[in-house]
Amino acid sequence: MKINKFYVVMLLLALVAPFFLYPVFLAKLLCFALFACAFNLMLGYVGLLSFGHAAFLGTGGYITGWLMMNSGITPELAILLGTVVSGALGALYGKLSVKREGIYFAMVTLALSQLVFFIYLQAPFTGGEDGMQGVPRGHLLGLIDLSDNMNMYYFVLAIFLFGFWLIHRTIHSPFGQVLKAIRENEPRATSLGYNVNDYKWVAFTISAALAGLAGSTKTLVFQLASLTDVHWHMSGEVVLMTLVGGVGTIFGPVVGAGVIVTMQNYLSGGELGNYIHIIMGFIFVVCVLAFRSGIVGEFQKVWKRNFG
Amino acid sequence: MKMMKKTLLAASVAAIASSAAMANVSDGKVKIGVLADMGGVYADICGQGCVTATQMAVEDFGGEVLGMPIEVVSADDQLKPDVGSAIVRKWVENEQVDAVGGLVSSAVVGAATKVLTDAKKIALISTAASNAFTTKACSPYNVHWTYNVAALANGTVKPMVEAGKKKWFFITADYAFGHALEGVASKVINDNGGEVVGVARAPLSTTDFSSYILQAQSSGADVVALANAGNDTVNALKAAAEFGLTDMMDVAGLLVFTPNAQAMDANVAGGMRTTTGFYWDYDDKTREWSERFMARHGSIPAMGHAGAYSMTMHYLKAIEAAGTDDSDAVIKKMKEMKPDDFFSRNATLRADGRMVHDMYYVEIKKPDERRDSNDIMRVVSVIPGDQAYAPMLPECNFK
Amino acid sequence: MVTFLGINLFGLFGQLLVGLINGSFYALLSLGLAIIFGLLKIINFAQGAMYMLGAFAAWLALQYMGINYWAALIIVPLAVGLVGVLMERFLIRPIANEDHLYSLLLTFGFALMLQGIFTHMYGSSGLSYSIPEALRGGTKLPFMYLPDYRAWIICASVVVCGLTWWMIEKTKLGAYLRAGTENPQLMQAFGINVPLIVTLTFGFGVGLAGLAGVMAAPIYSVSPDMGSNLLIVVFAIVVIGGMGSIGGAILTGLGMGVIEGLTKYFYPEASNTVIFLVMVIVLLLKPAGLFGKEA
C-alpha cells in the first residue's frame, strides 16, 4: 500500500517535471534509467555482472537511427525493431556467455561487446567515428510531431514506464522467483529440476532487449547514434549507476542513473570538467568500499531499522 | 551640486543610449559558449586553451559590445557527440547563448552544428578538420576558420609531388576523418601526375604501427603519408624511425598539431614536413599574441587556439558593425568584412562560411636546430589561401 | 622477392615477426593478470593503468632523477609493485570476503582515477622516451629490418615469462603460493603468513605490468590512455588461454600476437576483431579456454 502511494507520487512528479526542468535532459535521464534497470535485471536478480551491455544500447540506437533515416517508417516501429534486433543479439550472446559464472561471465560479455564495437567502428552504415547524425524524430503513429521536446518527453516517459513495468512484472512472476532462487543457491535450483542456463539465457535476452529499447529511444531524443554508446566505458557507467543507486532494488538503478547523469551534466559545464574521470573513479571506489547497498539499499536499511 | 547634476545627466543619457542598444541585443548581453575537449585526447589541441583564447578576445575587445557585456561560458564535450549536442541544445534553448566556439572533434561538431542551425545560432568552428561543414553539411550559420582536410592535403602533398616525389603510400586512420584526408590527398597526387602505390588502414588508437611500416617499406614508394592525427601520428612516426623507414623514404604528416609535434622525439620527427594554419613563431605579430597566450595558458598555442581568438574577434566586430546580435545580420556582416589580424592573412570569409587565409608549409626542426623546447617548426613557404582551399560549392553559396 | 602460392613470403615473415613482438607484450600483461586471477581470484581491471603507470614512471625517473632505461627496468617494476601492494592492502583486502565482482569494480574505479589524474597532470598528447643508446641499431634480416630494441623485447619477455612460470609451477615457493590460496586455513596452521603471500602475489602481478610499461615507453607514445585499450585485448587473451592458467596465458599471448600479425597481412580490416573472434570460437568449443580446467 505504502509502495503504491510512493509510485503515484513519483509518477505525478514525472508528469509535471518538464514544466520546471529542461525536457531533453529529463528524457536523457529516463533513457539511462531504463538502461540501468535493464542491466540490474541481470546483476540484481540473476547475480550476473554483464560488462558488455553497451553493445545492446548501441545496437538499438544504430538500428533505430538507420531505419529513421532510410526507411521512412514511423518512430514507434523503428524503436520496436531496434529493440528486437538488440534482443536477438542478446539471445546470441547469452548462448555464449551464460554457461560461465561470476567474473568469467563479466569478461566474456566485455570481450563480446568489444567485438561489436569494432564492427560498428568499421561498418559503413554507422558513420564510424562521426556517428549517425541528424536522425529525424518523425511523427509518432504518423500523427504527433516528436520534434517538439514536450511531446518527445512524454513519449519517452511512456516507454520508460512500459520498460519499468515489464521488469517489475518479470521479477514478481514465477519466472522471476526462479531467477532469485538461482541467484541465492544455484545447485539447489538445479537439483529442483530447473534448467538454470535456460532461465539465465531468457533473462539475459530480456535485459538486452530492454537495453536496446533504451538505446533506440535515446537515439530519437538526441537525433544521433554514436560509438560512445557501444564503448566499454558505457558498460562501466551503467554498472556505476546501478551500484550507486542500489543493486537488486527495483528503484535503485533509476536513482543511480539520476545521480550520475545529473552529475555528468553539472560537471561537463563547469570548471570541474577536467576532473570528471577522477570523480567517477572515486565514486566507484567509495561505493565499493563503504556503500555497497547503494542509495536505495541504504535507505531501505535505515527505514527498516526505524520504522519496519 | 552642479557637478552632480551633470554626472547624473550624463549617466541617464548613457543609460538611454545603452537601452536603445539593448533593444538590438537580445537579453541584454552577448553570450559565447565554448565547447571543447577538456580531458580527452584533444585537450591539448583545443581544450581549456580555446576557452582562454576566446576570453582573451573578449577582453581585448573591451569586455562589452554595443554597451552590453560579453559573457563566455564553456563546457566539456567529452568527445561524445551526444554530450556535445545536449550541451549546445541546452545553451541555445535555455541559456540564451548567441554563438558557440571551440568545436573540436568532427563528430561532435557535426552534431552540434545541426542543433545550432535549427536554432539559427552561429557555429564558430576552430579546430574540426572535416571539410563537410562547408560542403555536404554546409549551413548559413557555419563559420569554419582555422583549416580543413583539403587545405592540409593541398598544402603538404602538392609541393612534394611537384618536387618529384611521385609514388605515395598512405597509412590511414581507419575512420571517417582518415578516409577523408586520404581521399583529398590522393586526388591531389593524381591531379599532379603522381600515383598512390598502396594504402594501409590502421584502426583508430593503434599502438603498434610496425606491421604497417613494413608494408610501406616493401611498397617502393617515395613518400609515406600519415593520414591520421594525435597519438596515432606519434606512434606511427616512432615506428617509422625505428624500422629505418625514415632513411629510405620521406614521411609526411598530413595533420600535425604543434602540441603533438612538441611531444615527439625531435630525433624522430625532425625533418618531417606538414601544413598548418598558424605557427606561433612566424613573425612579430604572431609572437606578440602567442607570448600573451603563453603567459596565461602555460604552453605555446596550437592553430585552433589562435583561430578561436581570431574568429571571436571577428564575430564581435561584426556585431558592432551590424548594431545587433541577430544571427542573420551578424553573419552577413562577418562575410562582408575582411578578417585581418595576426592569424588571418590575406583572408576572406566566403559565403559558404569557409574562411580562406594563408596556410603555412612547415618543417619540424631537428634537435640541433632548436633554441629551446618551444622552437619546433620552421616555415618553409606560405601557401596562398585560394591554392590551399577547395573552391566554393554552388549549393553552399549562402549570399 | 620470394613468393609461394602467390604469397609474398618475405612480407609474411615480417608480419609474423612483428606479431611475435606484440605477442611478447600480450604475454607479459596477460601473465600478470593470470597470476593475480589464478591465485587470488581477483580480476585486476587496473592492470592497464599499471602498465601506463610503468611507462610514466620510467619517463619521470629519467626526466627528474636521471635514472636511465636499464635502472628503470629494475626500479620501476618494484615501485609499481609497491603501488600494487598498497592497493591490495588498503583497498582490496577490506572487501576480500565479499563477492569477487566487487574487487573487479573497485579496480575499475581505481583505473579510471589513475588515468584521469595522469591526463590532468600531463595532458593527453603523450610524452616521448628515447630508445636506450645500446639498442638503437638494427639487424638486416633477409626479409626485414629488425630493430635491436624489438629483438630485445622478445628475448626479455620470453625470459621473464619463463622464469615466472618455473617459479610458480616448479619451485617450493610456488607450491606454498598455490597451497596458500587454495587452502588458506591449513597453510595458516602450518605457520605460513597467508595474507602476506596474497599481498606479495598481487604486487608481483602488478609489477609485471609495470615492467611491460617500461619496455613499451621507448616505442609507443607514453600517454594516459595507452593501457585502457590494450587491457580489453589482454582480457580476451586470458579468456582464450583459460582463466588462471599461467602457462596458457603466456602461450596464448604469444600466439595471439602471431595470429594478429597474420590477419594484418591477409585481411587487415579484421586485425582488431580477430582476437575477439578467436575468443568466441574457443568459447563455443571449449568453454573453459584452451588451457583451462573445466570448473
The DSSP secondary structure of B96-131, one letter per residue, reads ---EEEE--SHHHHHHHHHHHHHTT-EEEE-S---S
The answer to whether C271 contacts B203, with C-beta atoms less than 8 Å apart, is yes
A305 touches chain B (CB under 8 A): no
Query: Which of these, C113, C137, C130, C134, lies nearest to C59 by C-alpha position?
Result: C130
Angle at B365 between CA B359 and CA B371, to 5 degrees: 110
Q: Is there a contact between A103 and C109 if contact means CB atoms under 8 Å apart?
A: no
Name chain B contacts of C271, Cβ cutoff 8 Å: 203
Pick C181 or B278 by higher pLDDT: B278
pLDDT, position B14: 47
- What's the CA gap between A65 and C170, in Å, rounded? 57
Question: Which chain C residues have any C-beta within 8 angstroms of a chain A C-beta?
Answer: 37, 41, 43, 91, 94-95, 98-102, 104-106, 108-117, 119-120, 232, 235-236, 238-239, 243, 269, 272-273, 276-277, 279-280, 283-284, 287, 295
The parts of chain A modelled with pLDDT lower than 50 are 1
pLDDT for B336-382, tens place per residue? 999 999 999 999 999 999 999 999 999 999 999 999 889 999 999 99
Residue whose grid cell is 532510410: A70
This prediction has a pTM of 0.85
Cα torsion B245, B251, B254, B256: sign = positive
**C-alpha cell recorded at residue C154:** 622478445
**pLDDT surpassing 70 at residue B2:** no
In angstroms, rounded to a whole number, what is the distance separating the alpha carbons of residues B154 and B162?
11
Stretch among C71-85, C154-168, C227-241 having the lowest mean pLDDT:
C227-241
Which residue from A130, A224, A276 is facing B176, i.e. has the nearest CB?
Answer: A130
As given in the structure block, the three cell numbers for residue A161 are: 514506464
> What per-residue confidence (pLDDT) applies to C61?
93
Give domain limits for chain A: 23-231
Enumerate the β-bridge partners of residue B362: B274, B379
More confident call, A284 vs B282: B282
Range B202-217 average pLDDT: 83
- pLDDT at residue number A96: 85
Beta-sheet pairing, B359-364 with B273-276: antiparallel
Q: In the predicted model, is pLDDT for residue B142 greater than 90?
A: yes
- Helix orientation angle between B81-94 and B106-118, rounded to the nearest 10 degrees: 30
Domains of chain B, earliest start first:
28-147+283-357 (3.40.50.2300), 150-276+360-388 (3.40.50.2300)
Q: Which residue has the higher pLDDT, C14 or B119?
A: B119
pLDDT score of A274: 66
**CB distance A24–B90 less than 8 Å?**
yes
The predicted pLDDT at position B13 comes to: 46
Q: How confident is the model at residue C8 (pLDDT cuts 50, 70, 90)?
A: low
Domain ranges (residues) in chain C: 3-285
Q: Over the stretch C116-142, which tens digit does the pLDDT of each residue have?
A: 898 888 877 678 888 888 888 888 877
- Which CATH architecture does the domain made up of C3-285 adopt? Orthogonal Bundle (1.10)
Contacts of B218 in chain C (CB under 8 A): 8, 10-11, 14
Residues of B in contact with A228 (CB under 8 A): 80-83
Q: pLDDT per residue over B161-181, tens digit each?
A: 998 899 999 999 877 788 888
Q: Cell numbers of C156, please?
A: 626479455
Test B39 with A134 for CB contact under 8 angstroms.
no
- Residues near B7 by beta carbon (within 8 Å), at least 6 away in sequence: none
Model pLDDT, residue C266: 81
Residue B195 pLDDT > 90: yes
Mean pLDDT for chain B? 87
Q: Beta strand A132-133 with A224-225: parallel, antiparallel or unpaired?
A: antiparallel
Which chains would you list as touching B if contact means 3+ CB atom pairs under 8 Å?
A, C
pLDDT score at B265? 81
For residue B65, pLDDT beyond 60: yes
DSSP symbol at C292: P
Half-sphere exposure of B157 (CA within 13 A, CB side): 34
Contact C129, C117 (CB under 8 A): no
Range in A6-10, B191-195, B240-244, C164-168 the model is least confident about: A6-10
**Confidence category of residue B21, pLDDT binned at 50, 70, 90:** very low
Pairwise pLDDT comparison (C49 vs A275), residue with the higher score: C49
Chain-centre distance of CA B129, in angstroms? 7
Residue-level pLDDT at A308 = 63
Q: Of chain A residues 238-267, which have a CB less than 8 A from chain B?
A: 264-265, 267
Predicted pLDDT at C6: 56
- Return d(Cα B108, Cα B83) in angstroms, integer: 8
| Mean pLDDT, rounded, for C79-97 | 90
**pLDDT for the residue A264:** 81
Contacts of C41 in chain A (CB under 8 A): 103
Q: How confident is the model at residue C2 (pLDDT cuts 50, 70, 90)?
A: low
Q: Beta B223-227 vs B250-253: how paired, if at all?
A: parallel
CB-based burial label for C152 (10 Å; 0-12, 13-18, 19+): middle
d(CA B205, CA C51): 16
pLDDT at A295: 87
* Least CB–CB distance from A134: residue in B106, B114, B204: B114
Q: What does the pLDDT read at residue A3?
A: 61
* Residue C5: pLDDT band with limits 50, 70, 90: low
> Distance (Å, rounded) from C-alpha C79 to C-alpha C207?
8
The pLDDT-based confidence of C51 (bands split at 50, 70, 90) is very high
C-alpha dist (Å) from residue B63 to B17, B55, B124, B313: 18, 9, 19, 11
pLDDT beyond 80 at C179:
no
pLDDT of B22 above 70: no
pLDDT at residue C267, as a whole number: 81
Residue C147: beta bridge partners?
C138
Residues contacting B54, CB < 8 A, separation 6+: B32, B34, B72, B101, B102, B308, B309, B312
Size of interface A-B (CB pairs under 8 A): 97
Say what the pLDDT of residue B3 is: 47
CB C120 within 8 A of CB C224: no
